[in-house]
């Protein structure tokens, strides 16, 4: 139980960062036809904003320093937007947002459920490449990724020889998908934790956010009615949910 609570703190920290980073972009950029689902869009835009901003920051600064600069700028901008424009006006689809938010909370719980019986990272199933993502998150706290037009792997890694570094260094900072690792590392900086202490929580939160993203796609982009939009958004997350439950059943069988 304590292990689940520890990972839950990681999920809450991830959500808080996404909400803080997403408020101003949502207030300034969200199209009129999406304003009624404002609070569902905020964390999604926040994750996108964080991915872009932390991606650029980590080229030049380690996240142990760069994250606080990003958070400071985000707080200032959000406060200015709030003072100028106030909270979102107009009619909000509170019922739909509440239902989708509740389903996302359920999805978050399902993502953490395998840790109940087996409090270890392997409980979430295979192929998460923890031998890459845990050291990578720790690395990004201490070092910038650098940038080089001639070296496809960016700048050399400092420090002692490490057999894992060749695999980590495979991520080309010019076009690599480092967004998750940078968010993972940022949560560790906020919580003053090592990467393994919130890895599952961050994964579970991002999985839960796929539900409001799917709902907005079906409901707003494709124009589905409310009920079909809710069901399509929920079953969009079904494959991940069934995979997690299957992994948990296999763990119980092994025991």
* Three state DSSP letters for 121-157: HHHHCCCCCHHHHHHHHHHHHHCCCCCCCCCCCCCCC
Q: What percent of the chain has pLDDT over 70?
A: 71
Q: What confidence score (pLDDT) does residue 228 get? A: 52
Other beta carbons within 10 angstroms of residue 82's beta carbon come to 13
How many folded domains does the chain comprise?
Answer: 1
Read out DSSP for 60-82? HS-HHHHHHHHHHHHHHHHHHHH
- The answer, yes or no, to whether residue 173 has pLDDT greater than 80, is no
b/e code 2-23 from CB counts within 10 Å (16+ = b): ebbebbbbbbbbbbebbbbbbb
pLDDT in tens, 207-251: 899 999 988 888 877 777 655 545 554 555 544 444 444 444 444
């Amino acid at each position: 139980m304590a292990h689940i609570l520890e990972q839950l703190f990681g999920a809450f920290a991830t959500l808080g960062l996404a909400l803080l980073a997403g408020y101003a972009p949502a207030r300034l950029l969200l199209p009129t036809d999406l304003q009624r689902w404002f609070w569902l869009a905020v964390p999604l835009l926040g994750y996108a904003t964080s991915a872009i901003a932390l991606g650029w920051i980590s080229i030049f600064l380690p996240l142990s320093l760069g994250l606080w600069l990003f958070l400071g700028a985000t707080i200032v901008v959000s406060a200015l937007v709030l003072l100028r424009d106030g909270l979102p006006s107009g009619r909000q689809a509170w019922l739909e947002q509440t239902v989708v938010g509740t389903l996302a909370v359920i999805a978050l719980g399902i993502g953490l459920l395998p840790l109940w019986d087996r409090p270890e990272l392997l409980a979430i199933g295979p192929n998460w490449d923890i031998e890459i993502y845990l050291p990578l998150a720790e690395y990004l706290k201490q070092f910038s990724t650098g940038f080089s037009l001639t070296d496809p792997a960016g700048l050399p890694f400092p420090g002692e020889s490490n057999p894992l570094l060749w695999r980590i260094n495979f991520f080309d900072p010019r076009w690599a998908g480092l967004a998750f690792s940078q968010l993972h590392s940022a949560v560790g900086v906020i919580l003053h934790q090592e990467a393994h202490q919130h890895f599952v929580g961050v994964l579970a939160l991002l999985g839960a956010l796929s539900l409001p993203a799917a709902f907005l796609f079906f409901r707003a982009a494709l124009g589905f009615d409310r009920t079909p939009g809710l069901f399509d958004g929920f079953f969009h997350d079904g494959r991940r949910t069934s995979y997690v439950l299957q992994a948990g059943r296999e763990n119980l069988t092994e025991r």
